[in-house]
Chains A and B, each alone.
Chain A
Amino acid sequence: MVLPSSGTLDFNSIRAEFGSPSSNVYLSLYYRGGPYTYNVPANANITTNNTGSIAVSNFYSARGKTDYASGVFGYYTSGGKIPETRGGVGGPNLPSMGDTSIRTNVLSTGFTTNYAQQSIAGATYVMGPFAGGNNNQSRTFRYYGTNGALSRQFTWPSNAQTGSGGNTSVGAGSTTSPTAFTVGPSGTVISSSAWNIGGTLIIRGF
């Protein structure tokens, strides 16, 4: 949910939507890209720490962190001639998702896993956990860099499998797999190198 787009907007409404540890409302807490406000297009009207003074009027239609997850996307390789590689967040030998609080009606409480792995056995993409009985069919996920730019985007196919309450794991070549990024590197989503970001991504699901 978001702040209203018009009408009276007071300091306490901003604090109550974004959360605050302080009884005094400091708008400086809520600079875009700061600890309480992701640098995403929905918050484009909020100034960043470097771009000027912040005002209550910046916050019309602004979103807190409610609708997003965030994590440092890392990379792992086992080494050797035919290494097992893994890129993303939340998998073995990868960083954990820092903010798991993304909200869609298909993800279980807490979005913890988003990585691709490749080995001699093949390539897989793992994401979730998806709530049991719900599906991620035709659902788009967007990944923003900390500079607010859309870094990656892909859409699950219309015949994607239904969530089982756990992570969804799909193999390369499967008709239920997401294929190419619509924004991002060329090639398949199921590639550990495609998720070798080496930095933080902010994730939104639709």
Chain B
Amino acid sequence: MEYWWNFDNTGFLMTTRSVDLSDFTVSISYMDDKVRHFDETDNQDKEARECEITWTHNSLSVTPLKYYLRENHENWESYIANRQMEILTDWFKELGYDPLYYNLDRETKTWNIKGAVETQEQKDKWLKPNPGNIVPPTTPEIL
């Protein structure tokens, strides 16, 4: 986690700038009973194993969370990705943060505070919102 310092009327307030949740493990186990579905590609009722997918964080003290879906579900990837987003949000809340003030970077699985001023361009604009070099100077016409 990375911290920075904000100043308000009550003194210095420590704010977490980013929270990296990427260090987790995803494991799959299979339920005992088979489940049924209808396969529209060949119009057949079929049976498949049901999977229990568990997300466990390796370094933070957060609750392991699960998801249940049958194997070879045609939307496996998107369902798992959506559930993983929910889990990263739930863990973030469990750690005491408010997702309202952060954005989740799906690639790095890191929550970053909104509105952070980081690049030199952002810093320059923060320090001087309307600098003279944004609009090039022009010579006014003589009426």
How far is A1 from B38 in the complex, measured between Cα atoms in Å? Answer: 6
Could you give, for residues 1-14 of chain A, a 1 whenever the CB lies within 8 Å of some chain B CB and a 0 otherwise?
11111011110110
Contact indicator B38/A4 (Cβ below 8 Å): yes
How far is A99 from B82 in the complex, measured between Cα atoms in Å? Answer: 9
A101 within 8 A of B: yes
Could you tell me which residues of chain B, from 69 to 120, have a CB within 8 Å of some CB in chain A? 69-70, 73-75, 77-79, 82-83, 86
Q: A1-B74, A7-B45 are in contact. Are A21 and B66 (CB under 8 A)?
A: yes
Contact indicator A12/B31 (Cβ below 8 Å): yes
Residues of chain B within 8 A (CB-CB) of A19 are: 67-69, 73, 79, 83
How far is A171 from B46 in the complex, measured between Cα atoms in Å? Answer: 45
Residues of chain A within 8 A (CB-CB) of B74 are: 1, 66, 103
How far is A101 from B74 in the complex, measured between Cα atoms in Å? Answer: 10
Option from A8, A20, A23, A99 in Cβ contact (under 8 Å) with B36: A8
Interface size on B, residues (CB 8 A): 28
The chain B residue with its CB closest to the CB of A6 is B45
Contact indicator B36/A7 (Cβ below 8 Å): yes
How far is A99 from B33 in the complex, measured between Cα atoms in Å? Answer: 30
Residues of chain B within 8 A (CB-CB) of A7 are: 36, 45
Could you give, for residues 36-53 of chain B, a 1 whenever the CB lies within 8 Å of some chain A CB and a 0 otherwise?
111110000100101110
Which residue among A21, A65, A99, A110 has the maximum number of chain B CB atoms within 10 Å of its CB?
A21
A200 within 8 A of B: no
The chain B residue with its CB closest to the CB of A98 is B82
Residues of chain A within 8 A (CB-CB) of B70 are: 16-17
Give residues in B with beta carbon < 8 Å to A. 31, 33, 35-40, 45, 48, 50-52, 65-70, 73-75, 77-79, 82-83, 86
Beyond known contacts A13-B35, A16-B51, A20-B68: 10 more, CB 8 A cutoff: A2-B38, A3-B37, A4-B37, A12-B31, A16-B70, A17-B35, A21-B66, A21-B86, A103-B75, A110-B78
5 closest Cβ contacts across the A-B interface? A16-B70, A101-B78, A16-B35, A13-B35, A66-B75
